[in-house]
Amino acid sequence: MFIEKGFNSHTKTMTLATKVRALATQYEKYAEQIADEKFDANIKEALSRAEQIIADSNASKALSTLDATDAKRDSIFRALGTLLKALCSVPIAADNENAKPLLDIYNKYGMATISKSYSEESGDILSLLGDMSAEKTAALTAKLYGVKETLAALKAAQAEFDAASNAYTEANKDNRGKKSASEQKKELNVFFNDKIIRYVNFMIDMGETKFVDFAKAINFEIAKTND
């Protein structure tokens, strides 16, 4: 039972930190069975890095607001895709015809949008809103139940996110010398891949079956997060 892959590079900072913390906590069940001082030290280091990220974010109300507004726009973005797919499949020819070009526009960006970095996601949403507001497509949205309203909600949610992003930047402008959340996330991800995943896979490859149960736990959390 090898660990098949690491956390997706697009996993958001707090998600990665909380997942690593959860795995470090789970490790306590396997620590006596594994009994490997080097690996134990690596787990403690991963936990320390994760807890530092969590502590920094909890100390920042601005970051909490940023995360909340991001989750809101993600939800509305998903709802738009669900609505357009439904309108393309209902047994109403006019709705099918009007919704198809809009779904094509949505699919140009796709669900991958909400897994991108904050700035990349903002760019995609603003581009999508621009495409949807073009004269021809705007005429189609007006004919379809709920589409115009959902687009308006997405536009408002994006504006809320932009305001929260500006507030976060302002709140952290004097944090000179401190690593950014994105830098900490990248370092934690690299550390987890190099010092936890590769080590576990190496030991299993060498016949150390005592790592197998913990490898299963890691695989489960990574698959759940990446999906």
pLDDT in tens, 7-41: 988 888 989 999 999 999 999 999 999 999 999 99
Q: Are residues 200 and 165 in the same domain?
A: no
Residues 52 and 88 both lie in one domain: no
Over residues 60-88, the pLDDT tens digits come to 678 788 989 999 999 999 999 999 999 99
How is residue 144 written in tokens? 């379809």
Token pair 């690299």 in the structure block, residue: 190
Mean pLDDT confidence for 164-174: 79
Q: How many domains does the chain have?
A: 2
Residues 193 and 157 both lie in one domain:
no
Secondary structure in 3-state letters for the chain: CCCCCCCCCCCCHHHHHHHHHHHHHHHHHCHHHHCCHHHHHHHHHHHHHHHHHHHHHHCCHHHHHHHHHHHHHHHHHHHHHHHHHHHHHCCCHHHHHHHHHHHHHHHHHCHHHHHCCHHHHHHHHHHHHHHHCCHHHHHHHCCCCCHHHHHHHHHHHHHHHHHHHHHHHHHCCCCCCCCCHHHHHHHHHHHHHHHHHHHHHHHHHCCCHHHHHHHHHHHHHHHHHHC
Query: Are residues 77 and 102 both part of a single domain?
Result: yes
**What's the pTM value of the predicted model, to 2 decimals?**
0.54
Question: Looking at this protein, which amino acid is placed at residue 92?
Answer: I
43 shares its domain with 111: no
Query: How confident is the model over 100-124, as a mean pLDDT?
Result: 93
Question: Which whole-number Å values give the CA distances from 217 to 157, 197, 222, in the listed order?
Answer: 36, 12, 9
Which amino acid does the sequence have at 35? A
Residues 135 and 149 in one domain: yes
Q: Which domain holds residue 48?
A: 13-59+181-226
